[in-house]
């Protein structure tokens, strides 16, 4: 007898992967440029030059044994120190090297934090729309996953959160800029969220942790700012990744930053190290630890995503679609003209538009359009979006 839960997870591919595989097949049948694949969140802008320059310099100048060897489990001390100093300068925080734990990307940051915190009977709350893996990660850490319904503006409903938190709540996950809506949480939302968590932690006599998943922190447009959450709530764990900011998702590098002001900070940090050990991560890739530390503050060219956003958002609104204007990340959230988003996606497929129904993000009636594609793909896809709007009679 094998683990049935794992068998099930392995057999049922995510909706996004399913669609991506369909897209590959369809492209082989009718040609690359005839299929408008908006399924995956794979960066379309190359890594900034500093990434390849750092790789070249390290491979030439650093001892190969150090570059390709194991680092200490929590990550190279110099790398962690550099990240702590960078964060402190940017956000006025007081991280030290020992607040940081290097990971293989945000997914690992999340699984490690959840495994570090969750005990039997605990609950983890997230706000719809949410990254579908939150459910998988929370449940495999042993928690009950509680999804809160989306609000009209995809911000945080203080009353709904307050009603959902109970004595079993161990953690709340937030993700801003958000996948799939592109929404950035306002400072008001953050303050409301933190007020509830403080009040309920006192009421139940134990900390309720805030896990902030931030792979899109730097991908914001029009000067929008993303509040840094350890400055608002002491019991915060930041899950960061360089996957999207540096366009290196395949290299698997990120970190966890445990707030230095957390009430049981040393114990939580130890539990993070313990969870990383129990999950068998050993250490994050050494070379990319060094590369990431060398490229702190650099990003891929965000203006390309902004151009794509403006082009797509402007055109879709003109065609009569109702869209959420994304302030960040590289996703556009569209309210489907019929209630069943899956039916809409099927009709879109008929026009070779591959869109992801947001049901698995906890948000039926919407689709996610990943605009981290070439601008040319967006331009070429517009007649198909227009024709689809005409079929639904929503065009003005
Ligand atoms: N969290 C969110 C919201 C994401 O969108 C993704 C990837 O798309 C991840 C986590 C995982 O990112 P990583 O590649 O750093 O593991």
Compute, in angstroms, the gap from residue 177 CA to the centroid of ligand 1. 12
Whole-number pLDDT of residue 279: 98
End of a domain among 247, 276, 294? Answer: 294
For 343-394, write each residue's pLDDT tens digit.
Answer: 999 999 999 999 999 999 999 999 999 999 999 999 999 999 999 999 999 9
Nearest Cα to Cα of residue 43 among 224, 230, 241: 241
Whole-number pLDDT of residue 18: 86
Looking at the fold, whether 107 and 232 belong to one and the same domain comes out as: yes
Q: What is the residue-averaged pLDDT of the chain? A: 96
Compute, in angstroms, the gap from residue 389 CA to the centroid of ligand 1. 31
Nearest Cα to Cα of residue 187 among 138, 161, 225, 158: 225
Q: What is the mean pLDDT of the segment spanning 133-139? A: 97
Helices (H) and strands (E) in the chain, counts: 14, 13
Contact 337, 385 (CB under 8 A): no
Compute, in angstroms, the gap from residue 239 CA to the centroid of ligand 1. 10
CA distances (Å), 120 to each of 68, 139, 375, in order?
Answer: 38, 11, 48
**Number of domains the chain is built from:** 2
pTM over 0.75: yes
Looking at the fold, whether 105 and 219 belong to one and the same domain comes out as: yes
Looking at the fold, whether 133 and 223 belong to one and the same domain comes out as: yes
The two tokens of residue 60 are 């030439």
Q: What is the mean pLDDT of the segment spanning 164-175? A: 98
150 lines ligand 1 (CB under 6 A): no
Q: Indicate which CATH number applies to the domain containing 175.
A: 3.40.640.10
Q: What is the mean pLDDT of the segment spanning 121-145? A: 97
Looking at the fold, whether 151 and 259 belong to one and the same domain comes out as: yes
User: Over 80: is that where the pLDDT of 396 sits?
Assistant: no
Contact 328, 182 (CB under 8 A): yes
Q: Give residue 248's pLDDT band: very low, low, confident or very high (50, 70, 90).
A: very high
- Domain that includes residue 97, residue range: 50-294
Looking at the fold, whether 369 and 306 belong to one and the same domain comes out as: yes
DSSP secondary structure, 117-184, as one string: H--TT-EEEEESS--THHHHHHHHTTPEEEEEPPPTTSS--HHHHHHH--TTEEEEEEESS-TTT---
Residue closest via CA to ligand 1's atom 8 equals 41
Whole-number pLDDT of residue 269: 98
């Amino acid at each position: 007898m094998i683990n049935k839960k794992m068998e099930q997870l392995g057999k049922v591919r995510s909706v996004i992967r399913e669609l991506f595989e369909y897209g590959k097949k369809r492209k082989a049948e009718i040609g690359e440029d005839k299929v408008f694949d908006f399924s995956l969140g794979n960066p379309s802008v190359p890594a900034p030059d500093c990434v390849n320059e750092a790789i070249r310099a390290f491979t030439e100048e650093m001892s190969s044994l150090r570059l390709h060897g194991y680092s200490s489990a929590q990550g190279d001390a110099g790398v962690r120190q550099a990240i702590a100093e960078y964060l402190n300068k940017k956000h006025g925080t007081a991280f030290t090297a020992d607040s940081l734990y290097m990971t293989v990307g945000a997914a690992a940051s999340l699984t490690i934090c959840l495994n570090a915190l969750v005990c039997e009977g605990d609950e983890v709350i997230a706000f719809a729309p949410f990254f579908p893996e939150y459910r998988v990660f929370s449940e495999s850490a042993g928690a009950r996953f509680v999804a809160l319904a989306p609000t009209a503006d995809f911000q945080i409903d203080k009353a709904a959160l307050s009603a959902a938190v109970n004595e079993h709540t161990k953690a709340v996950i937030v993700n801003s800029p958000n996948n799939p809506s592109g929404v950035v949480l306002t400072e008001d939302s953050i303050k409301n969220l933190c007020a509830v968590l403080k009040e309920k932690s006192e009421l139940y006599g134990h900390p309720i942790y805030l896990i902030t998943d931030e792979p899109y922190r730097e991908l914001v447009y029009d000067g929008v700012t993303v509040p840094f959450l350890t400055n608002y709530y002491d019991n915060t764990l930041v899950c960061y990744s360089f996957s999207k900011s540096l366009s290196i998702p395949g290299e698997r590098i990120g970190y966890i930053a445990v707030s230095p002001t957390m009430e049981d900070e040393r114990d939580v940090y130890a539990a993070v190290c313990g969870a990383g050990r129990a999950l068998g991560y050993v250490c994050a890739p050494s070379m990319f630890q060094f590369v990431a530390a060398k490229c702190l503050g650099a990003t891929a060219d965000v203006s390309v995503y902004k151009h794509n956003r403006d082009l797509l958002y402007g055109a879709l609104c003109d065609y009569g679609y109702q869209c959420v204007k994304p302030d960040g990340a590289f996703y556009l959230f569209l309210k489907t003209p019929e209630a069943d988003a899956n039916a809409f996606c099927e009709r879109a497929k008929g026009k070779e538009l591959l869109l992801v129904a947001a049901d698995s993000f906890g948000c039926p009636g919407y689709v996610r359009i990943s605009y981290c594609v070439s601008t040319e793909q967006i331009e070429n896809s517009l007649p198909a979006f227009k024709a689809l709007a005409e079929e639904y009679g929503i065009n003005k």
